[in-house]
Every structure is written in C-alpha cells, then in structure tokens.
C-alpha cells in the first residue's frame, strides 16, 4: 500500500470516527488504550407503580457534595456532577472507567415539582421518587 493511499484512508477513518483513533494506534498504542475520551453519562431506569414514579441513576463513586440536581422544567431533571478517580497512582495499566464532569438530562414520565421529590443516595445509586398525578375516576 503506498503512503498516499494510507494517509487518505487515515483521514477518512478519523473523519468518520471523529477521533484520532488510528493515529493513536499507529503511534504505538494498543487499540484498547486508544479509547476515545468522552464524558461519563450515567445510566438510569424509570419505574412506576400506581402511586409513584421512581428514577434510579447509576453514579458510582460520586460524593454527595459533587452532585447537583436541577429541575429544568416540570418534566425534565438535570443530574450533573464530577466523578473523581478513586486511585491516582503514577502508572496506569488499563482504564475503562471515565472520570470528570458529567451531565444527564432525564425526561420524566409525568410532571412534578421540586418539593414533591424524595431523593436519596445508596451505594452508588441515586434514588428519586415522586407522586404520580393520577386522574380521579368520576362516576356518572
């Protein structure tokens, strides 16, 4: 393969991936170590029962003082904060976890107000609940 074709291939690949993945591989890094740096994005689940909505957000290793919750609208909750590394040693062998600032906007299944939300943290899990606005049944 001639060098010009290789450069063109590298340019197209980097444009497609929007990273310098292959450049980093060529610079003698293993593909596993050339993972694109990205912002941590917590995963969440939403559940309901007859009376409440429940949101569970994974935030392992986040301290309460590094966490911020903001009700953007009555149907959108912004969860943001900072995930700090637990160990900061000289030599890093392998890293898959992402550290630093994070932000996630959660679309709530039903409208709510801040004063109705119950929030607690438990072993890296942010638990949020609030009452459902169930329409009463009218008998005629």
Looking at per-residue pLDDT, the higher value among 134 and 41 belongs to 41
| pLDDT per position as a tens digit, 49-95 | 999 999 999 998 898 999 999 999 999 999 999 988 878 777 878 87
Return the pLDDT at 34. 43
pLDDT in tens, 99-139: 889 999 999 999 999 999 999 999 889 999 999 986 666 77
Q: Tell me the per-residue pLDDT of 6-19, one tens digit each, with 9 for 90 and over.
A: 777 777 776 665 55
Residue 92, burial from CB neighbour count under 10 angstroms (0-12, 13-18, 19+):
exposed
Record the pTM: 0.66
94-99 long-range contacts (CB < 8 A, ≥24 apart) are: 94/32, 94/33, 96/35, 98/37, 98/38, 98/39, 98/40, 99/40
Are the beta carbons of 59 and 42 closer than 8 angstroms?
yes
Backbone angles phi, psi at 119, to 5 degrees: -125, 135
Do 126 and 57 touch, CB atoms closer than 8 A? Answer: yes
Q: What is the pLDDT of residue 75?
A: 93
For 44-131, the fitting CATH number among 3.40.50.1010, 2.60.40.790, 1.10.1200.10, 2.40.340.10 is 2.60.40.790
- Do residues 93 and 71 touch, judged by C-beta distance below 8 A? no
């Amino acid at each position: 393969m001639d060098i010009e074709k290789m450069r063109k291939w590298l340019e197209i690949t980097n444009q497609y991936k929007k990273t310098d993945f292959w450049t980093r591989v060529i610079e003698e890094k293993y593909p596993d170590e050339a993972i694109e740096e990205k912002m941590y994005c917590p995963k969440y689940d939403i559940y309901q029962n007859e009376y409440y909505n429940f949101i569970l957000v994974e935030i392992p290793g986040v301290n309460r003082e590094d966490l911020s919750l903001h009700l953007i609208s009555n149907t959108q909750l912004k969860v943001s904060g900072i995930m700090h590394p637990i160990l900061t040693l000289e030599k890093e062998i392998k890293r898959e976890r992402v550290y630093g600032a994070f932000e996630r906007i959660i679309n709530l299944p039903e409208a709510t107000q801040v004063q109705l939300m119950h929030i607690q943290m438990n072993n890296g899990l942010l638990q949020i609940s609030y009452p459902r606005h169930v329409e009463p049944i009218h008998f005629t």
